[in-house]
Structure 1
Amino acid sequence: MATTTPTTSAAKMRTLGPGVLKSTDSTLERDFSADVTKVMLNPSNSSDDPVNFLDGSQEINVTSTWNLEATVMDDYTVGGINNWCMANAGKKVRMQFVPTKETGAMAYEFDATIQPIGIGGDVKAKNTQDISWPVSNLQSVPNNTIN
């Protein structure tokens, strides 16, 4: 009996980058791509205790919330990312995340609520700060639909 190995029509894309992370909000437009050294959309999943019914059935409420998590390099200039986050904290902006610009890859559009990030760190070092912004309205789209 012969065995066959399944084949796929397209190669899998497993490397993050080069890609894009940017705000597309017309009043808060900003491209974070050159500041980001790590980025991910991270789910947090939770479920309530099951509700048991007399007929033996059971209902469980499962929810997922998302965060944009990233590591960025400090930029101490007037328009740098640290000051931009501080000045716009609490604002909700429409964003795009393109993990790779490869043809056929997926991209993601979502609303993120900007939170301030740290400023500074070790002396004579290129310091990084972590971003953790709540995300809503997350949608996956083919990357050829991204501006």
Structure 2
Amino acid sequence: MADKIRTLGPGSLVIGADADAYKLDVDCTSVELAPDNSSEDPDNFLDGHEEGGALTTSWKLSGSIGEDYSMTGAQVYCLDHAGELKHAKFIPNTKGSLQLDLDVTIAPIAFGGDVKTRNKKDFEFAATNVKASAYTTAAEGA
């Protein structure tokens, strides 16, 4: 039986692909890809049958970044690409075997905070087409 990898990081979070790729992982202090599962109540009909009650799942990619006040920082990237749909690859731990591929809608991240402090800012992107696959070291460069 393979050893279980239970620690988040060191890992990878890359938004976009090829020349458009942005390594968000270098700024992240926390990352979570979370489902929001909801189901509607079924409708009951006079003849005794039910309809509806389907499960609906939506996803969000969220976390926190350490602020970077440069023009190449995560906040400027997200501001410049706000509203765009981009492919993303999330590898929770490079010693594990899990890779999550998804599409995210980029949303802006706040700027500023307490003076003379290394501020952290939260981010949240809507995610779709979430798929898990086996991660190998060769896949990281792909």
Q: TM-score, normalised by structure 1?
A: 0.87
Which position in structure 1 is the counterpart of 2:74? 81
* Aligned length, in residue pairs: 138
Aligned mate of 2:83, from 82, 90, 99 = 90
Q: Whole-Å Cα distance in 2 between the matches of residues 10 and 121 of structure 1?
A: 44
Return 17-26 or 72-81, whichever deviates more.
17-26
The 5 Å alignment of 1:100-111 reads: 100-103=93-96, 105-111=97-103
Moved over 6 A (4+): none
Q: Is 1:44 the counterpart of 2:31 in the alignment?
A: no
Which position in structure 2 is the counterpart of 1:115? 107
Q: Is 1:67 the counterpart of 2:31 in the alignment?
A: no
Which position in structure 2 is the counterpart of 1:18? 10
Assess if the C-alpha contact under 8 Å between 1:41 and 1:68 holds in 2.
Answer: yes
Assess if the C-alpha contact under 8 Å between 2:40 and 2:52 holds in 1.
Answer: no
Q: Whole-Å Cα distance in 2 between the matches of residues 11 and 58 of structure 1?
A: 44
Once the two structures are superposed, residues 127-147 of structure 1 have per-residue CA deviations (whole angstroms, 9 ceiling, x without a partner) of 111111000111001111443
Q: Whole-Å Cα distance in 2 between the matches of residues 73 and 94 of structure 1?
A: 22
Please, which runs of 5 or more residues in structure 2 have no aligned partner? none
Per-residue deviation, 1:67:
0.3
Which position in structure 2 is the counterpart of 1:31? 23
Please, which runs of 5 or more residues in structure 1 have no aligned partner? 1-8
Structure 1 pair 50/37, CA: closer, same or farther in 2 (3 Å)?
same
The residue type equivalent to 2:114 in the other structure is D
Identity %: 33
Assess if the C-alpha contact under 8 Å between 1:74 and 1:82 holds in 2.
Answer: yes
Once the two structures are superposed, residues 23-62 of structure 1 have per-residue CA deviations (whole angstroms, 9 ceiling, x without a partner) of 1334531111110000010111111111235345564111
Q: TM-score, normalised by structure 2?
A: 0.90
The alignment yields a C-alpha RMSD, in angstroms, of: 1.5
Task: State the secondary structure of the residue aligned to 2:76.
Answer: helix
Assess if the C-alpha contact under 8 Å between 1:20 and 1:96 holds in 2.
Answer: yes
Q: Whole-Å Cα distance in 2 between the matches of residues 100 and 13 of structure 1?
A: 8
Return 89-98 or 55-64, whichever deviates more.
55-64
The residue type equivalent to 1:75 in the other structure is D
